[in-house]
Amino acid sequence: MPSRLHAVYARVVPRMRKAGEMQGDEPAERARVEAWHATLDRTLPTGAVRRFDKRFAVVTEDVAGFPAYVITPRRAAPTRTLFYLHGGGFMAPISAWQVRYAALLADAVDARVVLPDYPLAPEHSWRDSFEPVAALAARWAGEPGGTVLAGDSSGGGYALALALALRDRGGAQPTHLVLHAPWVDLTTSTPETDAYDEVDPWLFKGKMRTYAQWWAGTPEDLGRPEVSPGLGDLSGLPPALMFYGTRDLLAPGCRLLRRRAAEAGWDLTAVEERGLIHVYPLLPYLPEARKAFARTVEFVR
């Protein structure tokens, strides 16, 4: 049974994130998001990490015109890399919660974080960042200690798409994948999606389909492995750990990924938690998140 704090988060988090279904058509939503993007401060949000500047050093790399942040714990030299792709429906920037989670995980497993701040939809599609981000991931995968490839929501789907690309291109591969409620099927082909739209307090079907179209760029690209990696060839991937709850619009896609992984012989451990909301392991102080964090640290080690 979900904790009392989770029940609070299930009410409060969607309000904090101003969650809601689209109030107009696609052009109206595009205009709203583009206007919001024009007001954003795109600096790295570190406010959720206590004493961040004393605990971590940050170097910014330019990747084809957009930044990638390399966050290194100061207490000890890192022995590996956590390559983290942030979620947000491909249209929201890096959040303080995502920086907090990635920094704490990196600190726990003696890793540095590489956090690409990739261009957002609707102004950009996957084609504007995928190749340079894949090249960046390949470079870090070849560093001593290897790379853990991770992400949440749309970032989890992006991480899986990168894993497919790195496998197909040869060379150094990630050692592990960690996926938090990954968005892996942007075609929304799973028939259960409509039912989950009724129970998810945070994500909404109309927005999800609109943002999927933006990220794909064209209808023909929706099913590509770079966009919908859950529909691709899943064989030959590194061991993976996936978390998701059943009050999540992306749960049907996660279940699809679990089934297709078994068929492909991919070592994917899927943790389904009854009644929990989207990306619950990233929520601060949540008992269920602490449990998921401990399991992730054990898995990566």
Domains (ranges, CATH) in the chain?
4-300 (3.40.50.1820)
pTM above 0.85? yes
Distance CA 4, CA 12 (A): 13
Among left, alpha and beta (phi > 0; psi -120 to 50; other), residue 118 is: beta
- Residue 240 tokens, joined: 């993976």
pLDDT tens column, 50-94: 899 999 999 999 999 999 999 999 988 999 999 999 999 999 999
Nearest in space to 298 (alpha carbons), one of 269, 257, 258, 260: 269
pLDDT tens column, 168-221: 999 999 999 999 999 999 998 777 888 899 999 999 999 999 999 999 999 999
Q: Can you give the pLDDT at residue 175?
A: 97
Give catalytic residues, as residue numbers: 153, 248, 278
